[in-house]
Amino acid sequence: MRAICYSKFGEAAEVLALHDVDMPEPQAGEVRVALKFSGVNPSDAKSRRGSRPGVTKPPFELVIPHSDGSGVIDAVGAGVDPARVGQRVWIWNGQWQRAFGTAADAITLPAEQAVKLPDEVSFETGATLGIPGLTAAHTVFGGGDVTRQTLLISGGAGAVGHNAVQLAKWGGATVIATASPSAFERVKAAGADHLLDYRAPDLAGQILALTEGKGVDRAVEVEFGANVNLLAEVVRANGVISAYGSQIDLAPTLPFGPLLFKAITIDIALVYILRPNERAAAVQKLHNALTAGALVPAVHDIMPLENAAAAHERVMRAGRNGAVLLKI
C-alpha cells in the first residue's frame, strides 16, 4: 500500500517520502480501516521535526505520521464483531505511541479507536474530529454543563478555538472570543457573542467590562504561558482555566497569589491521554452537536497524499482557517 513515511527528523520536504509498504493485517481486538482522509495537525509536524529536547531520532525505525483520519472498516481481527466491516468511522490516536498512523491507504488499530461516524457526517469532517474536535469538546465541557456560563475562548479562529466557539454557544454559554480583527466575522459567524483583539492593551479591562466585573466562568486557552497573567485577572473566583497549549512560553512564571486567592483551577488538557470516561463524554458531545447541525468543523485545504510535505508546512503557517487534510 502507499504510505507517507519518515525515518529521521528534519524539514518536511527533506524527510517525508511516499513508500510502498505491506498492507497491515488486523490482530486480535483490532480493525483495519481503508482510509479516505488523513488529518494533519501541528503536533504531527512538530513530532516529525523532532521538537522534544534530548530526543535525536524517531522512536521507530519507520514512521507513518498523523493521528487523525476517516474511512471504512474493511477487515477485523479476532474478537471484533464482523458486522463492523463496512462501517464508516473516524479515528483518534492513530499514531500516538505507535509507528504507523493515517498517512497511508490503510491503518490497523484497536477497535475502540475507530469510532462509528454518524450518517449525516462527511469523511472530511470525520478526519478533523480526533485532535481539534476532541480537544474543543473536552476543554469546553470537561467541567460539565456550561449553560448560562460565560466562556473566554482564546484563538477563536484556530481549528480548536473555532470548534470550541461553536460548541460553547450550542451548550448555552455566552462566548467571548479573542482573535485577530481580520478573523472577527468568521468567529462571529461561529457563534461568538463578543469579539476582542487578542493584542489589545486593555484586553483584561474589556473582558471584565463584558462580565460586569465578575470575570469569566471558564477560559479555553491555547497560549497558557503568554496569557496566564491576563487569565488570573479575568477568571472569576472558583473559575477554571482549561489550557491545551503554550507554544510561546512553555515554562511560564505563574502569578500564584492571584490564582490562589481566587482558587482558580488550572486544568491542563492533553487529548491523547484523556481518561476513557472523559473521551466518551467528548465523543458524545461532538456527535450530538454534529447531528444537530451546531458544529461545522472548518477545513482550510485538502491535498493529495503525495503532497504531505506541503500539508505539514501549511499547518504550521499563520492564517490557517481550519484543518488541513490529505485525500487518500
d(CA 26, CA 29): 8
Q: Which tens digit of pLDDT belongs to each residue from 57-98?
A: 999 999 999 999 999 999 999 999 999 999 999 999 999 999
pLDDT at 318: 84
CATH of domain 2-128+297-327: 3.90.180.10
pLDDT at 270: 97
pLDDT at 132: 97
For the chain, give every domain's residue range. Answer: 2-128+297-327, 132-272
Q: Which three cell numbers stand for residue 283?
A: 465523543
Domains 2-128+297-327 and 132-272 share a fold: yes
pTM of the full predicted structure?
0.96
Write the single-letter amino acid at 108.
Answer: T
d(CA 6, CA 253): 36
Q: Which CATH superfamily is domain 132-272 in?
A: Medium-chain alcohol dehydrogenases, catalytic domain (3.90.180.10)
Q: Which three cell numbers stand for residue 55?
A: 530526543
- Backbone phi, then psi, for 63, in 5-degree steps? -120, 130
The alpha carbons of the chain give a radius of gyration, in whole angstroms, of 20
In the chain the beta strands, taken as DSSP E runs, fall at: 2-5, 17-20, 30-40, 68-76, 88-91, 106-110, 114-116, 150-153, 174-179, 194-197, 216-221, 235-243, 265-268, 299-304, 323-327
pLDDT at 280: 98
Q: Per-residue b/e over 157-186, b at no fewer than 16 CB within 10 Å?
A: bbbbbbbbbbbbbbbebbbbbbbeeebbeb
pLDDT at 51: 77
pLDDT at 319: 84
pLDDT at 111: 98
d(CA 129, CA 61): 28
pLDDT at 49: 93
Residues β-bridged to residue 19: 3
CA atoms in the 13 A half-sphere facing the CB of 139: 31
Residues of the chain with pLDDT under 50: none
